[in-house]
């Protein structure tokens, strides 16, 4: 008969065997992800003539690309040639396109990426994002977007994405936008009035970094139109925390240990900070949403309101499971978190680059101002008909988005084996769509591709390049940006309000250094000279 000691020893041996087996299984799965699968994909693409830099275990080619980007000066030249591959934004393009041609394979950590910049391929991939299509957001991109913005519509796939998008879509319709114009004007007015006062105190001309105030304007626009006039201070805190979280997240992503299985759950200083920031972000989102819900209940109101938050609450069930298919309270929280960051980040960065370019190209600034005064006049009486007449302003904004797209790359992964034109795309291969490189390719835009020339959009986007799909500032296909019309109306209003009051001149304090994190941004802000008119 076995003794108690023998039984305990037997149990210990079984436990250790199971633990060792689990370790081995996890190790094999890890090695499959970071070594065997990348090498398999490399062989498949090499057989089709696609070259690229050597495979680097775990870290990929990011250190080499980053080091290349750091060889360029902090203050880049501000000449009139924009035909480069933006080495400080996407250094991998500047480094590898000249070596390997229009397509190349490289590794973003252990993620194998095929880089393409051909409009037909870009269109095919983005069209493949439909429900049941061949492509989905890459796992790395999904992780970063979901970590920052929660499980809002931008992060979703399948039927859940379709339900959330359909719920949000009416808010961004052209008819709904007509009722938001006054709120957008009010959102911009206080900051621009502050500029007027500062310029007057400075004697009529002021060298000023506008980027913080442009962010404030965009934040107020989102607050006033989507969440109510009294939501701005909460929204301001929310955006600040999201920005801080993004900085910590990107710093973590650059470290090798962050990508080891289980590391993100360890109680490191950085992981605890990210957990704390995430909790504070969620707390503010819940405060924003629950304040509206409680006000409606306490005052026995018949409606949650006609802004985005009101529309979402009216459509939502009471469930709080963010894995549920229906649109529920969890959907409201997640989409509120998404809209606050994405809604103001994309607009404010485009506007920052637009003001910088207007200062540098006075002939286009003068044409835009002349059009604004003709279409709108000297007062604040904006309406959709007047805004639709701002063709030159729209041309300028399109040209800025060509040169400085908010998202210069998009990454999608093949859900199954498929074909793109002459290429076989194996399941698991990521397609990196080089949007900014495509926007600056003379094959599609002509020999003046390096020039700032809004006139190329005089007859609309369809005539600006060949083919029209070479212009992708808002993505494309079923998952294009839901807020295209909202964004254009907002930017037209803000540019109009600025140019009616100020002449913009280049500042000697401006350091030109675009960079790319979640969006393309001016690293050192935007200094311009504001001169009172």
- Residue reference for tokens 């992964």: 413
Given a contact cutoff of 8 angstroms between Cβ atoms, the answer to whether 459 and 394 are in contact is no
Question: Which residues on adjacent β-strands are paired with residue 531?
Answer: 205, 503
Angle at 349 between CA 333 and CA 69, to 5 degrees: 110
3-state secondary structure of 416: coil
Where residue 2 falls among pLDDT bands split at 50, 70, 90?
Answer: low
Structure confidence at residue 258 (pLDDT): 74
User: Would you list which residues are annotated within the binding site for heme?
Assistant: 481
Identify the DSSP state of 328. Answer: B
Contact between residue 110 and residue 431 where contact means Cβ atoms under 8 Å apart:
no
pLDDT given at position 464 = 95
Answer whether 365's CB lies under 8 Å from 358's CB: yes
Q: pLDDT tens-digit profile of 428-466?
A: 999 999 999 999 999 999 999 999 999 999 999 989 999
Q: Which of the four pLDDT bands, split at 50, 70 and 90, describes residue 261?
A: low
Q: In angstroms, rounded to a whole number, what is the distance separating the alpha carbons of residues 116 and 434?
A: 6
Cα–Cα distance measured from residue 166 to residue 145, given in angstroms and rounded to the nearest whole number = 20
Backbone torsions φ then ψ of 135, nearest 5 degrees: -130, 155
Which one has a higher pLDDT value, 489 or 379? 489
Q: Which residues pair with 409 in a beta bridge?
A: 434
The total number of structural domains in the chain stands at 1
* Tokens 């286009």 sit on residue: 364
**Is residue 211's pLDDT more than 60?**
yes
Cα gap 28→137, rounded to integer Å: 25
The set of residues, in sequence order, having a beta carbon less than 8 Å from that of 465 and lying 6+ positions away, is 444, 445, 456, 471
The CATH number linked to 55 is: 1.10.630.10
Phi, psi of 383 (to 5 degrees): -150, 170
Q: What is the pLDDT of residue 343?
A: 82
- Bridge partners of residue 413, in order along the sequence: 136, 430
Residue 306 domain boundaries? 37-532
Top-confidence residue, 459 or 476: 459
Tell whether 15 is covered by a domain: no
- Name which of 57, 68, 59, 53 is nearest 115 in CA terms: 53
With a cut of 60, say whether residue 4 has pLDDT above it. yes
Q: What's the token pair of residue 178? A: 């007509």
pLDDT of residue 144: 81
Q: CA 225 to CA 182: how far, in whole Å?
A: 9
The fraction of the chain above a pLDDT of 70, given in percent, is 98
pTM value is 0.92
The stretch 238-253 carries a mean pLDDT of 88
Annotated binding site: 481
Q: Centre a 10 Å sphere on the Cβ of residue 459 and count the other Cβ atoms it contains.
A: 10
Cα 111 versus chain centre, distance? 20
Between 306 and 370, the more confident residue is 370
Tell me the per-residue pLDDT of 81-99, one tens digit each, with 9 for 90 and over.
766 768 899 999 999 999 9
- Transcribe 364-399 into DSSP letters: HHHHHHHHHHHHT-SSS---HHHHHT-HHHHHHHHH
Could you tell me which residues come within 8 angstroms of residue 255 by beta carbon, excluding any fewer than 6 positions away? none
DSSP 256: G
DSSP for residue 313? H
195's CB contacts (< 8 A; 6+ apart) are 206, 208, 210, 213, 501, 502, 530
User: Is the distance from CB of 90 to CB of 434 less than 8 angstroms?
Assistant: yes
- Confirm whether 8 is domain-assigned: no
Q: Which of 411, 417, 410, 419 is nearest to 40 (CA)?
A: 417
What distance in Å separates the CA atoms of residue 348 and residue 344, rounded to the nearest whole number? Answer: 6
Write out the two tokens for 273: 């900070």
In a domain, 14, yes or no: no
Please report whether residue 30 resides in a domain: no
Tokens matching residue 521? 């941004």
Is the pLDDT at 1 greater than 60, yes or no?
no
Using CA atoms, how far apart are residues 12 and 14, in angstroms rounded to an integer?
5
What are the φ/ψ torsions at residue 61 (nearest 5 degrees)?
Answer: -100, 10
Q: How far is residue 434's CA from residue 96's CA, in Å, rounded to a whole number?
A: 12
- Residue 133: the pLDDT is 87
Residue-level pLDDT at 110: 86
Residue 12 lies in a domain: no
pLDDT at residue number 378:
74
- Measured CA to CA, the distance from residue 480 to residue 458 in angstroms comes to 23
Q: Are 181 and 384 in contact (CB under 8 A)?
A: yes
Report the candidate in 344, 342, 352, 381 with the shortest Cα–Cα distance to residue 495.
352
pLDDT at 296: 87
Is residue 4 domain-resident?
no
What is the number of H-type helices and E-type strands within the chain?
21, 12
- The residue assigned the tokens 């060298």 is 207
Query: Average pLDDT, stretch 378-387?
Result: 86
pLDDT at position 218 is 95
Closest CA to 304 of 171, 463, 444: 171
Q: Which helix (H) or strand (E) segment is 134 a member of?
A: none
Could you tell me if residue 218 is inside a domain?
A: yes
E runs forming strands in 416-526: 418-420, 423-425, 430-434, 502-506, 514-516, 520-522
| Residue 526 located in a structural domain | yes
């Amino acid at each position: 008969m076995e003794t108690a000691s023998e039984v305990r020893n037997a149990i210990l041996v079984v436990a250790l065997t199971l633990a060792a087996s689990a370790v081995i299984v996890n190790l094999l799965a890890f090695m499959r992800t970071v070594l065997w699968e990348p090498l398999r994909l490399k062989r498949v693409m090499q057989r089709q003539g696609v070259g690229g830099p050597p495979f680097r275990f775990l870290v990929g080619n990011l250190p080499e690309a980053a080091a290349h980007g750091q060889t360029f000066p902090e203050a880049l030249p501000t000449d009139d040639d924009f035909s480069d591959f933006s080495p400080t934004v996407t250094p991998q393009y500047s480094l590898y396109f000249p070596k390997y041609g229009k397509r190349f394979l490289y590794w973003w950590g252990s993620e194998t990426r095929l880089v393409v910049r051909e409009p037909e391929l870009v269109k095919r991939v983005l069209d493949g994002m439909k429900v049941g299509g061949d492509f989905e957001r890459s796992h790395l991109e999904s992780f970063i977007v979901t970590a920052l913005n929660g499980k809002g519509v931008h992060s979703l796939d399948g039927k859940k994405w379709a339900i959330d998008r359909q719920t949000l879509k009416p808010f961004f319709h052209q008819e709904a936008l007509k009722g938001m114009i006054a709120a957008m004007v009010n959102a911009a007015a206080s900051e621009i009035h502050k500029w007027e006062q500062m310029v007057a105190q400075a004697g009529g001309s002021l060298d000023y970094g506008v980027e913080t105030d442009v962010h404030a304007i965009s934040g107020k626009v989102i607050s006033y139109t989507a969440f109510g006039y009294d939501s701005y201070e909460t929204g301001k805190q929310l955006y600040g925390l999201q920005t801080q979280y993004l900085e910590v997240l990107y710093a973590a992503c650059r470290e090798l240990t962050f990508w080891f299985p289980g590391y993100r759950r360890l109680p490191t200083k950085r992981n605890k900070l990210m957990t704390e920031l995430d909790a504070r972000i969620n707390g503010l989102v819940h405060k924003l949403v629950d304040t509206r819900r409680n006000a409606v209940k306490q005052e026995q109101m018949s409606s949650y309101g006609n802004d985005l938050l009101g529309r979402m609450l009216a459509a939502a069930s009471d469930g709080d499971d963010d894995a549920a298919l229906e649109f529920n309270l969890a959907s409201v929280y997640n989409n509120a978190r998404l809209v606050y960051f994405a809604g103001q980040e994309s607009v404010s960065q485009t506007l920052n680059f637009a003001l910088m370019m207007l200062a540098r190209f006075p002939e286009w600034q003068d044409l835009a101002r002349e059009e604004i005064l003709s279409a709108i006049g000297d007062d604040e009486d904006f309406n959709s008909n007047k805004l639709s007449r701002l063709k030159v302003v729209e041309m300028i904004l399109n040209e800025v988005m060509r040169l400085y797209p908010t998202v210069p790359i998009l990454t999608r992964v093949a859900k199954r084996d498929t074909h793109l034109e002459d290429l076989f795309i194996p399941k698991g291969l990521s397609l990196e769509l080089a949007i900014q490189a495509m926007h600056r390719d003379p094959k599609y835009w002509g020999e003046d591709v390096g020039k700032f020339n809004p006139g190329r959009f005089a007859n609309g986007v369809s005539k600006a390049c060949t083919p029209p799909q070479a212009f992708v500032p808002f993505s494309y296909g079923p998952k294009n940006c839901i807020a295209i019309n909202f964004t254009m109306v907002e930017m037209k209003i803000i540019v109009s309000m600025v140019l009616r009051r100020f002449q913009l001149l280049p500042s000697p304090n401006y350091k030109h250094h675009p960079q790319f994190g979640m969006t393309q941004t001016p690293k050192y802000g935007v200094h311009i000279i504001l001169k009172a008119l």
